[in-house]
Amino acid sequence: MSVVSVANVEKAKGVLVIGARDLLTPLAADRAKELNVRIERSTAQAKTSAPSTPRTAPIPPAVNTPTPFASNRPIRQQGAVQPGALSGALYRRGAPVPSQMRVDNVQSNAGLDSRPKTAVIGAGHVGAMTALRLAEPSLFSRVMLVDIVPGLAAGLALDMWHSSGLRNFTTRIEGSTELSALQGADYIVMTAGRPRQPGMTRTDLTGVNAEIIGGVADGIRRHAPNAVVVVVTNPLEEMTHLMAKRTGFPPNRVIGMAGVLDSTRFCSLVALEGIARPQDVKAIALGSHGAEMVIPLSLATIDGQPLEQLLPADRLSAIVERARDSGAEVVKLLQKGSAYFSPAESAAVMVAAMAKNSDTMITACVQSSGAYSVLDTRIGLPVRLGRDGVKEIIELPLRPDEQAALAEAARSIAKRISELG
Ligand code: NAI
C-alpha cells in the first residue's frame, strides 16, 4: 500500500492511476478536484503505480508508546517511514510531517506551483480578511501580505496559515514589511491607507491616502510590473486614478473595488424586505463609491421579475438611499474604523474572477473611455474581468434618468480627480 499525496496529484497529467489498496489523502483528493485530475484505481495491485512517487516502506510493526490522546491504536515507528512518505497515522498528533508538507517546503515549492500569485498591501481590517478570503479557495500558490508595521503582516500570515489544515486550503500565506515581496505577484489588492472615522467623508482621506498610494505604486511598478492591481483604498475613484497614473499601468490593469460591494449591499438590503434571498436579487451599482452612486432600478430583478413591480417606489428609494450610505452606517456603529467583511469578500471575488478568467459580469471602477457617453474618467461600470484585468466594459440599456445620473456622477468624479493636481 502506498500513500498518494498532493505532490503526486500535482505531478499527474490529467489522470493518476493508483493501486487498489493505495491510500488517497483527503487533501490529495481535493487537489485532484481543483486540478481536474481523474483518479483511477487499478484493480491489479501489481500493475499499478502512482507516477513519480516514492513508495512507502512496508508498514512497520506497532510499538506501544503512549500518545497524548491515550489512543489504543498502534502508532508507527518514525524511523521506518521513508522520506517524503506519509506515516500511516495521518491525523495523529506527533506523526512525522512528510517533507513535501513541511511549511518551509511549501514555501520553497511555491516556485514550482503553476497557480497564480497574489499579494495584499495593508494588513489592517480589510487587508487581513482579503488575504484569508483569497487563500481559502486554494486558487493561488501564494498570498503575500505586506504592511509597514513590523511583524504585523508576518504574524497575521502565520496565524492564518495555522488554520490551513482546518480550512483545508493549500495557498501559502506569507507576510512582509517590504514591497520587494511583491515580486512575481499576478494580482495585487491595495488596501493600505487610513479608514474613515465617524463624521468623516471618504474625500477627507484624500491627502493622507494619496501619499501612501504614491509610495506603494512606485514599489508595484518596480517589483511587479505585470500585475493587475485592485485598489480598495478610499476615496476610491481618486486613489484608483493615482495608482494608474503613478504605476503607468494601462487602464485594464488598474481597477477599483466598489461596485461589487455596493451591489451586494443593495441586494442584501432588498432581501431584508422578506421577498427573496440576497443571492436571488440581481442588481448593480454604478457611478461613484459615494454620493453619486447610481443603482439602475430598471435593471434590478428577482428571479427575472422586475424589482419595481415587487416593491413600492418609496420603499425602493429608501433601500437605494440606505445602500448608498451603508459604509457610513457601519462606521457610525463601529465608532472606530470601517466595514471590512463585505469589502474583503468583494475584493477577493474580483481577483478570483480574473484568475478563473471568468466571464461573469461585475461592476468595478474603470476608465470609461467613451462608454455610456460619459466623461472619460474612473467610474463604476459593468465589466467582464479576465486574466489580464478588464476584458471589456458592458454597455447595458439605461433609462434616460439613470443615464443622466451616471453622466452627472462622471462629471463630479472628473472634477475631484482634476483637483488632485
Ligand atoms: P486599517 O487601518 O485597518 O488598515 C490599514 C493598514 O494599512 C494598516 O495596517 C497600516 O499599517 C497599513 N499601511 C499604511 N500605510 C502603509 C504602507 N505605506 N504600506 C503598507 N501598509 C500600510 O484600515 P482598513 O479598515 O483595512 O481600510 C483600509 C482602506 O480601505 C481605507 O482607506 C478604507 O477607507 C478603505 N476601504 C474601502 C472600501 C471600498 O469599498 N473601496 C471598503 C472598506 C474600506
27 touches 170 (CB < 8 A): yes
Alpha carbon nearest to ligand 1 atom 42, residue: 343
Q: How far apart are CA 286 and CA 351, in angstroms?
A: 19
Q: Is 214 in the pocket of ligand 1 (CB under 6 A)?
A: no
229 lines ligand 1 (CB under 6 A): no
Distance of alpha carbon 191 from alpha carbon 146, whole angstroms: 10
Q: Which atom of ligand 1 is nearest to the CA of 340?
A: 43
Does any ligand 1 atom lie closer than 6 A to the CB of residue 149? yes
Examine the residue annotation and report whether 162 is marked as an active-site residue of this protein.
no
Q: Ligand 1: does its nearest atom lie under 6 Å from the Cβ of 379?
A: no
Burial letters for 284-307: b for 16+ Cβ neighbours within 10 Å, e otherwise?
bbbbbbbebbbbbbebbbbeeeeb
CB-CB contact of 80 with 87 (8 Å): no
Atom nearest to 123 CA in ligand 1? 9
How many helices and strands in the chain, by DSSP H and E?
Answer: 13, 18
Query: In terms of C-beta distances under 8 Å and separation of at least 24 residues, what long-range contacts does 382-385 make, across chains too?
Result: 382/259, 382/284, 382/286, 383/255, 384/359, 384/360, 385/255, 385/350, 385/353, 385/354, 385/358
C-alpha cell at 90: 495521518
The answer to whether the beta carbons of residues 181 and 174 sit under 8 Å apart is yes
- pLDDT tens string, the chain, 421 residues long: the values are 677 777 787 788 788 888 877 777 766 777 787 777 888 887 654 333 343 343 333 333 332 323 333 333 333 332 233 333 333 333 333 344 444 444 444 444 555 789 999 999 999 999 999 999 999 999 999 999 999 999 999 999 999 999 999 999 999 999 999 999 999 999 999 999 999 889 888 888 999 999 999 999 999 999 999 999 999 999 999 999 999 999 999 999 999 999 999 999 999 999 999 999 999 999 999 999 999 999 999 999 999 999 999 999 999 999 999 999 999 999 999 999 999 999 999 999 999 999 999 989 999 999 999 999 999 999 999 999 999 999 999 999 999 999 999 999 999 999 999 999 7
Q: Which ligand 1 atom sits nearest the alpha carbon of residue 146?
A: 20
347 lines ligand 1 (CB under 6 A): no
Model pLDDT, residue 22: 78
Is the CB–ligand 1 distance for residue 265 below 6 Å? no
Q: What is the pLDDT of residue 272?
A: 98
pLDDT at residue 21, as a whole number: 77
- Point out which residues pair with 189 in neighbouring strands: 120, 230
**CB atoms < 10 A from the CB of 118, how many?**
32
Calpha distance 160→262 (Å, rounded) = 27
Write the CB contacts of 265 (distance below 8 Å, at least 6 apart in sequence): 285, 323, 326, 342
267 lines ligand 1 (CB under 6 A): no
Cα(196) to ligand 1 centroid in Å equals: 10
Plot region of 72 (φ>0 → left; ψ -120 to 50 → alpha; else → beta)? alpha
Distance CA 207, CA 194 (A): 10
Mutate to test the pocket of ligand 1, among 191, 204, 220, 255 (most ligand atoms within 8 A of CB): 191
CA of 306 to the centre of ligand 1 (A): 37
Burial class (CB in 10 A: 0-12, 13-18, 19+), 383: buried
- pTM of the full predicted structure? 0.78
Check pocket membership of 88 for ligand 1, CB cut-off 6 A.
Answer: no
Pocket test for ligand 1, best of 121, 126, 200 (most atoms within 8 A of CB): 126
> How much distance in Å is there from the Cα of 64 to the middle of ligand 1?
54
> Which of 311, 314, 305 has its CA nearest to residue 280?
305
Which atom of ligand 1 has the smallest separation from the CA of 215?
18
Task: Read off φ and ψ for residue 130, nearest 5 degrees.
Answer: -65, -45
Look at the block and give the residue holding cell 468595478.
364
The Cα 177–Cα 200 span in angstroms is 29
- Within 10 angstroms of residue 354's Cβ, the number of other Cβ atoms is 22
Mutate to test the pocket of ligand 1, among 146, 147, 152, 346 (most ligand atoms within 8 A of CB): 147
| 194 grid coordinates | 487610513
Residue 233 Cβ contacting ligand 1 at under 6 Å: yes
Distance CA 253, CA 387 (A): 10
Q: Is 371 left (phi over 0), alpha (psi -120 to 50) or beta?
A: beta
Task: Give the per-residue pLDDT at 118.
Answer: 98
